[in-house]
């Protein structure tokens, strides 16, 4: 019996030894398979935000120590991958310049080359932001002969919807040239080109846009669904085969994976797909901005484009959406570009001239974000309307050198008496004051300017920026189908 126990114990001991070494071998194998890996946006050719502590992150074996060395200061920072195999650290960037290298070392080594330091902006929205030369923008081909510019880098996020937040995208950084430019956002390019030229810094442009999308998919689901008004409006959006309309779906797939990446700000061109739910747009849009700032852990400036006049299938829905966008400017660190003067045809929802759109956005950023003085970047806005017998006297801000009528006579003005009945009006401009009269309305009470899906005014500042469309009334607006 004793010998039998001895044999069993010996066999158990041998088995335990085999099991120990097998487990050790398996663990070592798994560790070797947990190869050092980076997200797509942390790669050669990237642009890192200047003068900041920026995030560098990735995946490795659990408990693996990672060392990151940057060539601009030859400093090494380190981090240890957690039990979810994720690691992250911060490195300090200098003022704009490059190219540099970044070396990431664990059990294996990755060296990133041609890294630039500069300013990084996200370009987002629907088709008017997405639109490129390949989509028919008319004013970009003239840039092709001189398009090659190592100081401008593109990162094109592929169209991706997701029910849950994602941790990576399939994309890569590319240098601006006549080939890469053809498929990149024209608005984004013209914005970045002006910033690069005027600031003399490298610019990284991240294009995350998807034609047709409403603002709800770009807003985290919990933000929309926890607000009864926004949830109700979202439920009215129609499902279509070409783009997602569920709350949070493009945020999860195209914005959330970027939120560790340090950026300077965002530009936005969207709203056409929210015209049918225009009443809630200001609330939705500002909550979207708030949620992006929370995700990026920074109060990023947000500059956006007011939608252009267009012949929608319901009366005045475009004008009401424009009104909501104008109201959104009260939200901190935002700015709106008006483009009523750039419309080729009110039957084309995609105005073809993108250069002035991008440059006007850039002027907001240059003035408000970078402190460049002497730039006219704000469109004139109504600040008061006073009744004076048979006239309405309008005063405007953002017109330091006065207003001008671009044509023989002013267009886009309508007045009404105490009982709603609108008639075309005449307008006289003196400096930053406009006097409005109408023979059919002896005692005018309210005035509208550029208010209507296809109504276009022709008054601008002397610097050429169109007056923001407005109305002085708060009457219910007809949104019935167009006959």
Could you give the CA distance from residue 427 to residue 412 in angstroms, rounded to a whole number?
10
- For 292-303, write each residue's pLDDT tens digit: 999 999 999 999
Given a cut of 60, whether residue 26 has pLDDT beyond it is: no
CA 301 to centroid of chain Cα atoms? 10
Q: Tell me the pLDDT band of 483, cut-offs 50, 70 and 90.
A: confident
Q: CB within 8 A of 372, min separation 6: which ones?
A: 198, 366
Residue 188 has pLDDT above 50, yes or no: yes
Q: Residue 18 — pLDDT band, cuts 50, 70, 90?
A: very low
pLDDT above 90: residue 32: no
Residue 284 burial class via C-beta count within 10 angstroms: exposed 0-12, middle 13-18, buried 19 and up: buried
Give the pLDDT confidence of 78-94 residue by residue, as tens digits: 999 999 999 999 999 99
The answer to whether the CB of 149 falls within 8 A of the CB of 22 is no
Is the torsion defined by CA of 55, 285, 363, 144 positive or negative? positive
* Average pLDDT, integer, range 406-424: 96
DSSP 8-state symbol, 37: B
Quote helix, strand, coil % in the chain, to nearest 5. Answer: 30, 30, 40
Average pLDDT over residues 320-336: 98
Candidate from 221-225, 362-366, 416-420 with smallest mean pLDDT:
416-420
pLDDT interval class at 76 (50, 70, 90) = very high
* pLDDT over 80 (residue 10): no
Burial of 94 (0-12, 13-18, 19+ CB in 10 A): middle
CA dihedral 176, 180, 185, 190 (to 10 degrees): 30
Residue 92 Ramachandran class (φ > 0 left, ψ -120 to 50 alpha, else beta): beta
From its phi and psi, is residue 452 left (phi > 0), alpha (psi between -120 and 50) or beta? left
Q: To which residue do tokens 């009110």 refer? A: 346
Q: Is the dihedral of CA 342, 345, 346, 348 positive or negative?
A: negative
Q: Read off the pLDDT of residues 156-181 as tens digits, 9 standing for 90 and up.
A: 999 999 999 999 999 999 999 999 99
In this prediction, residues 35-54 reach a mean pLDDT of 98
pLDDT averaged over the chain? Answer: 94
- By the 10 Å C-beta count (0-12 exposed, 13-18 middle, 19+ buried), 269 is classed as buried
Q: Which whole-number Å values give the CA distances from 134 to 93, 140, 179, 205, in the listed order? A: 36, 10, 11, 18
Q: How confident is the model at residue 11 (pLDDT cuts 50, 70, 90)?
A: very low
- The predicted-structure confidence for 368-384, as pLDDT tens digits, reads as follows 999 999 999 999 999 99
Give backbone dihedrals phi and psi of 446, rounded to 5 degrees, phi first: -140, 155
d(CA 331, CA 364): 15
- % of the chain residues with pLDDT over 90: 91
| Residues in contact with 439: Cβ distance below 8 Å, sequence separation at least 6, in sequence order | none
Q: What is the pLDDT of residue 208?
A: 98
Asked whether the beta carbons of 51 and 93 are under 8 A apart, the reply is yes
Output the CA angle 192-198-199, nearest 5 degrees.
85
Confidence at residue 14, expressed as pLDDT on a 0 to 100 scale? 42
Q: How far apart are CA 124 and CA 266, in angstroms?
A: 7
Instruction: Determine the Cα–Cα distance for residues 468 and 328; give it in Å rounded to an integer.
Output: 13
- CA dihedral (421, 445, 379, 218) positive or negative: negative
Tokens 């390949």 belong to which residue?
134
pLDDT digits (tens, 9 = 90+) for 194-232: 999 999 999 999 999 999 999 999 999 999 999 999 999
Has residue 395 got a pLDDT over 50?
yes
Helical H runs in 267-369? 281-296, 317-327, 355-364
Sign of the alpha-carbon dihedral angle for 28, 30, 35, 37? negative
- pLDDT tens digits for range 86-116: 999 999 999 999 999 999 999 999 999 999 9
Residue 456 neighbours by CB distance under 10 Å: 16
Report pLDDT for 34. 60
């Amino acid at each position: 019996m004793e010998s039998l126990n001895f044999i069993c114990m010996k066999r158990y001991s041998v088995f335990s030894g085999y099991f120990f070494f097998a487990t050790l071998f398996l663990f070592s194998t798994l560790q070797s398979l947990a190869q050092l890996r980076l997200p797509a946006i942390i790669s050669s050719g990237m642009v890192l935000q200047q003068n900041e502590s920026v995030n560098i992150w990735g995946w490795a074996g659990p408990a693996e120590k990672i060392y990151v060395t940057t060539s601009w200061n030859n400093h090494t920072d380190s981090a240890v991958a957690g039990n979810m195999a994720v690691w992250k650290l911060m490195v300090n960037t200098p003022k704009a310049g490059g190219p540099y290298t970044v070396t990431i070392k664990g059990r294996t080594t990755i060296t990133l080359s041609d890294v630039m330091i500069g300013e990084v902006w996200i370009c987002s929205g629907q088709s008017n932001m997405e639109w490129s030369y390949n989509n028919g923008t008319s004013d970009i081909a003239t840039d092709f002969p001189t398009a090659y510019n190592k100081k401008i880098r593109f990162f094109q996020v592929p169209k991706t919807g997701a029910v849950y937040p994602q941790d990576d995208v399939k994309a890569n950084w590319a240098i601006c040239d006549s080939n890469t430019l053809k498929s990149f956002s024209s608005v984004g390019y013209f914005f970045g080109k002006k910033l690069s030229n005027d600031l003399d810094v490298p610019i990284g442009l991240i294009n995350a846009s998807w034609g047709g999308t409403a603002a709800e998919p770009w807003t985290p689901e919990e933000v929309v669904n926890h607000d009864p008004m926004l949830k109700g409006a979202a439920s009215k959006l129609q499902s279509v085969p070409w783009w997602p309309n569920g709350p949070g779906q493009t945020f999860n797939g195209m914005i959330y994976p970027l939120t560790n990446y340090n950026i300077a700000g965002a530009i936005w061109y969207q709203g056409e797909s929210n015209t049918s739910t225009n009443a809630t747009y200001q609330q939705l849009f500002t909550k979207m901005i708030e949620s992006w700032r929370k995700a990026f852990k920074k109060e990023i400036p947000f500059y956006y484009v007011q939608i252009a006049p267009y012949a929608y299938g319901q009366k005045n829905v475009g004008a009401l959406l424009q009104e909501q966008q104008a109201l959104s400017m009260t939200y901190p660190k935002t700015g709106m570009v008006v483009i009523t003067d750039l419309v080729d045809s009110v039957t084309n929802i995609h105005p073809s001239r993108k250069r002035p759109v991008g440059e006007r956005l850039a002027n907001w950023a240059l003035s408000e974000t970078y402190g460049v003085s002497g730039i006219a970047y704000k469109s004139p806005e109504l600040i008061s309307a006073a009744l004076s017998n048979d006239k309405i006297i309008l005063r405007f801000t953002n017109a330091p050198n006065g207003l001008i009528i671009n044509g023989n006579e002013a267009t886009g003005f309508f007045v009404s008496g105490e009982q709603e009945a609108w008639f075309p009006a005449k307008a006289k401009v003196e400096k930053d004051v406009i006097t409005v009269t109408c023979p059919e309305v002896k005692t005018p009470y309210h005035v509208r300017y550029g208010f209507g899906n296809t109504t276009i005014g022709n008054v601008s500042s002397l610097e050429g920026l169109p007056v923001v469309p407005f109305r002085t009334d708060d009457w219910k607006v007809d949104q019935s189908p167009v006959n």
